[in-house]
Amino acid sequence: MRITTLFLLAASLTLPAFALPTFPLTYTDPLASADPADVIGDPNQFDIASLRFASFDAGAKRFTVEILMNYGGGTSLGAFSVGGAFTNLNVGDLFFFSGSNIYAVPLVTRGSLDAGDLYRVTGTQTAQQVLGLGPDQDSNYRPNAPVWANTTRATPIGAGTVTTSTTGGPTNLKVVLSFVANDAFIAGFEGSTFSFASATCGNDLITGTIPGSEIPEPGTWALLGAGLVALGYMRRRAA
């Protein structure tokens, strides 16, 4: 067998194999009582407790994400008001930043974006852009926080669902996202970063980086094995 054939075979074996971290992955967010700078405003309406990548079904290419948070709009994830300039606050989108790609999962249907579905999007909208507030309001929210995805030229990747339940009160929510991904998203998941704002004012924001896998994927072992076979073949020819 020629050396080039061996490497082509190994390369083909690497294509369907993805290096993914071990699930679940849990990211906790500081409570306002521990870090007053964490939540701007009332923690009962904005505080994010944790975001958890609960599981990944390789066969269905389905991710399940659980978010524990307080939200002023209750289990419906509807719009709510805290008065003053903040009379129409909505829940934020979940973002993934992978290289030059931006992916988003909206928690509620908005324009052409369906709740729970995964999209590749062209960019994000900040709290200031969504709310249309000026710089004089900067002390009351996080104006530069990415809160919503651009709806123009958003490319649907896979369908998903959003379910909510209370965990101790009308604003203490467990939000479960279950969405289907494609190969490009899965391949870039390791090392990507995520961001989620509990509301479009950015009053609480959780971010994190997905760690690398601890064990090389099968395709990596295949490529290494092919290289060793090729090395032995070269030595036999030289002898």
Q: What are phi and psi of 114, to 5 degrees?
A: -95, 140
Please give the pLDDT value at position 212: 85
Do 180 and 94 lie in a common domain? yes
Please give the pLDDT value at position 14: 44
Please give the pLDDT value at position 115: 98
- The helix (H) or strand (E) run that includes residue 197 is strand 193-197
Do 181 and 207 lie in a common domain? yes
Do 36 and 4 lie in a common domain? no
Question: What residue numbers bound the domain in which 146 lies?
Answer: 21-213
User: Alpha-carbon distance 171 to 41, whole Å?
Assistant: 14
Do 157 and 233 lie in a common domain? no
Do 127 and 152 lie in a common domain? yes
Per-residue pLDDT of the chain (239 residues; tens, 9 = 90+): 454 444 444 444 444 456 799 999 999 998 777 777 899 999 999 999 999 999 999 999 999 999 999 999 999 999 999 998 999 999 999 999 999 999 999 999 999 999 999 999 999 999 999 999 987 788 889 999 999 999 999 999 999 999 999 998 889 999 999 999 999 999 999 999 999 999 999 999 999 999 987 545 444 434 444 444 444 545 555 55
Do 33 and 145 lie in a common domain? yes
Do 36 and 76 lie in a common domain? yes
User: Alpha-carbon distance 183 to 202, whole Å?
Assistant: 31
Asked if 48 and 40 touch (Cβ cutoff 8 Å), the reply is no
Do 93 and 201 lie in a common domain? yes
Q: Which two tokens stand for residue 5?
A: 């054939």
Please give the pLDDT value at position 3: 46
- The 3-state DSSP class for residue 13 equals helix
Domain total in the chain:
2
Please give the pLDDT value at position 18: 65
Do 122 and 190 lie in a common domain? yes
Do 204 and 236 lie in a common domain? no
Do 150 and 170 lie in a common domain? yes
Do 161 and 57 lie in a common domain? yes
Please give the pLDDT value at position 72: 97
Please give the pLDDT value at position 179: 98
Name the residue among 5, 86, 54, 49 with its Cα closest to residue 167. Answer: 49
Please give the pLDDT value at position 135: 75
